[in-house]
Structure 1
Amino acid sequence: MTLSGRQFTLTAGGHEATVVEVGAGLRRYARDGVDVTCSYPADALAPKCCGATLVPWPNRLRAGKYAFDGTDLQLALTEPATGNAIHGLGRWERWSLVDQDAASVSLELDIVPQTGWPFELSARVTYALDAGSGLTVTATATNTGSGRAPFGAGFHPYLATPALDRTAVRLPAATRLLLDELQIPVGSEPVEGTPYDLRDGRPLGALRMDDAFTDLQVIDGRGVAEVRTPHGGARVWFDAAFGHLQVFTLENFPGSDTAGVAVEPMTCAPDAFNSGAGLMVLEPGERWSASWGITPLD
């Protein structure tokens, strides 16, 4: 058994993707043999949260603490350097196979009650390839418990690029969240007139980011971000359920000779269990669903 668990290979036309059991993660996505996303070996831990499904919250919770319906709760601190709880509870779990064919796979996880999370939730993720449009990811979550449950979701793909200084980025975001030294939001500012105004797309140059954005432009129910490289790049699209993006630039993706730009669709802001920014509350039996995807650019 590899460290990332069972490997599920999907193909459609010239597209090929590998989805892994651990974290329901996207380990690799390529078109015509060229990597669209950053990848890692099957027998390795996913570096920098590469490709992971982030439920029941994305990003960080300050000190792992929050209150819900009058109860103070404390999660394990999974980011020791900052003392935060990061990226949910499904990242290192083995998700169960539900269904698979040549071009798609569905994985499911029951997130059981535990310290700091006294709720019951069933999550499912379906990855599907199409020869024309590329990769579509559909996520669902159902509150299977008897009480209300706070919920957020996110995904962590890295788009591959030879070098950041030869990469252009377009983000449909009008507002950047201001983060403190622990990467927790403490305010916000319009991007207009700042280096973070990437709404029309431009070369990164010296700009490097680990930033959260909101006020996303959505047209006909879909928002679009682009990472353009000398070889084409890719478009990350997301439906209106994803109201935030985290963007993280990485000069050297671990174990490779490429750089990466993580464009992370998130339903809520970092620390949403405390701020309420984008937080959902699922009633008993309530089901949530949303989609996002990656389309390679010529």
Structure 2
Amino acid sequence: MSTEFTLQSGGYRAVITARAAALRVLQFQGRDLVVPFPEGGPIPDYRGIIAAPWPNRIADGAYRFDGTVHHLPVNEPDRGTSLHGLAFPLDWELKESDGGSLTLTCTVGPTPGYLFVLELSARYVVDDAGLHTRLTALNVADAPAPYGVCPHPYLVAGSSPLDQWVLDFAADSFLEVTPDRLLPVRVVGVEGHAFDFRTPRAIGTTEIDHAFTGTGFDGGLARLSLRDPAGTGVGMSWDESCPWLQIHTADKPEPLPNRLGLAVEPMTCPPDAFNSGTDLIRLEPGAEHTAAWSIYAL
């Protein structure tokens, strides 16, 4: 059985696993706010993990950084990509905890394809306003490192099917991707497109597995809301460290469970940023980077 930690406050209950520092359960007054996964087993579909030192995909597992070509293991063989970083298979270590907060740490690298060394620290806090996460990366090596991060929760608005959930987030553009490998093509405006959720509306049968950008930050935070027609809902906010947002409607072919929740992933950079360089963080020796996000009941 894997190690896990429970945080409770203000009607919220969060369960975090040492493996991947993953959010296994988040409930408000007994209602699921994320798609959970069973205790002690594998983590399906990257639910609740922290994807670092890159979010999403790197094409062919290959990239060039400071003149050197690196080759990562390909862990998404059907698309020929390296997916969701290197931190998710690791068992993170407990640094500190109390009833309402928890800090887990891990070291990423050096490893084939990523010869850099980062110390990651994930701090989780539960209070009356929800679950708050702050992820800090510190470069402890003597060379600059490429870096990006995102969380990977699947949000649950309520008991109605996902198609009926009403989605609201203010991104004005999305990243068009290739249909076979989901690799970047170009940034496209959402105006007149099925991906325009700047006015709240039901998701319907729309299938989404795309990154969005051009999100407004009000008071330093961007926000997304997801509401069930029965009256319940869930919200997520994130800070300006994450100018990109991956949305995925969790579409699965039969007989797999289909559209169980909406993956909402605030990202510091878009897919394949290790190759494009778009919003890629260059973490200098001794430097650190922090990203923060929250999930809460509506």
Letter in 1 for 2:265: E
Question: 1:178 maps to what in 2?
Answer: 176
1:247 aligns with 2:247: yes
Counterpart of 2:294?
Answer: 293
Does 2:262 align with 1:261? yes
Alignment partner of 1:41 out of 32, 38, 41: 38
Matched-pair identity in %: 35
Task: Report SS of the residue matched to 1:107.
Answer: strand
Instruction: Note if contact 2:249-2:259 (Cα within 8 Å) is conserved in structure 1.
Output: no
- Contact in 1 for aligned 2:155/2:264 (Cα 8 Å): yes
Distance apart, 1:55 and its partner CA: 0.6
Deviates more, 1:162-171 or 1:270-279: 162-171
Deviation at 1:256, TM superposition (A): 7.4
Once the two structures are TM-superposed, the CA of residue 251 in structure 1 deviates from its matched residue by 5.5
Which position in structure 1 is the counterpart of 2:119?
122
1:13 Cα deviation from its structure 2 partner: 2.0
Superposed displacement of residue 166, structure 1: 1.5
| Number of the residue aligned with 2:276 | 275
1:172 positional shift: 1.9
Show structure 1 runs of 4+ deviating over 6 A: 252-258
- Measured in 1, the distance between the counterparts of 2:258 and 2:64 equals 43
Query: Among 50, 54, 61, which residue is 2:51 paired with?
Result: 54
Q: 1:238 maps to what in 2?
A: 238
In the aligned structure 1, how far is the partner of 2:259 from the partner of 2:286? 44
5 Å-filtered alignment, 1:197-208, equals 197-208=196-207
1:35-184 → structure 2 map (5 Å cutoff): 35-131=32-128, 133-160=129-156, 161=158, 162-180=160-178, 181-184=180-183
- Deviation per residue, 1:242-295 (Å, 9 max, x gap): 011110112679997982001111100000000011100011000111210111
2:219 aligned partner, one-letter code: D
Instruction: Say if 2:57 and 2:183, in contact at 8 Å, map to a contact too.
Output: yes
Give the Cα–Cα distance (whole angstroms) in 1 for the partners of residues 138 and 108 of structure 2.
10
Corresponding residue for residue 21 of structure 1? 18
Q: How many residues align?
A: 293
Name the counterpart of 2:224: 225
**Contact conserved, 1:245 with 1:266, CA < 8 A, in 2?**
yes
The verdict on how the C-alpha distance between 1:252 and 1:159 changes in structure 2, with shifts beyond 3 A counting, is farther
CA distance in 2: counterparts of 1:110 and 1:8, whole angstroms: 20
Whether the aligned pair in 2 keeps the contact of 1:238 and 1:265 (CA below 8 Å) is yes
Contact 1:163–1:251 (Cα < 8 Å) also in 2 = no
Q: Distance in 2 between matches of 1:285 and 1:148?
A: 9
Contact 1:164 1:251 in 2 (8 A): no
CA contact (8 A) 1:75 1:85 kept: yes
Unaligned runs of 5+ in 1: none
**Compared with structure 1, are the counterparts of its residues 62 and 258 closer, same or farther at alpha carbon in structure 2 (3 Å cutoff)?**
closer
Check the 8 A contact 1:134/1:294 in 2, yes or no: yes
After the TM superposition, which of the residue ranges 170-179 and 55-64 deviates more from structure 2?
170-179
Deviation of residue 112 (structure 1)?
A: 2.1
C-alpha distance in structure 1 between counterparts of 2:227 and 2:85, whole Å: 30
Per-residue CA distance 1:187-211 (angstroms, 9 max, x = gap)? 1110011111101221111212111
Instruction: Give the Cα–Cα distance (whole angstroms) in 1 for the partners of residues 23 and 33 of structure 2.
Output: 11
**Does the CA-based 8 Å contact 1:251-1:260 persist in structure 2?**
no
Counterpart residue type for residue 247 of structure 1: I
Q: Is the alpha carbon distance of 1:258 and 1:197 closer, same or farther for their aligned partners in structure 2, counting shifts above 3 Å?
A: closer
1:227-255 per-residue CA deviation (whole Å, 9 max, x = no partner) reads 11124111110000001111011267999
Aligned partners of 2:142, 2:260: CA distance in 1, in Å?
A: 45
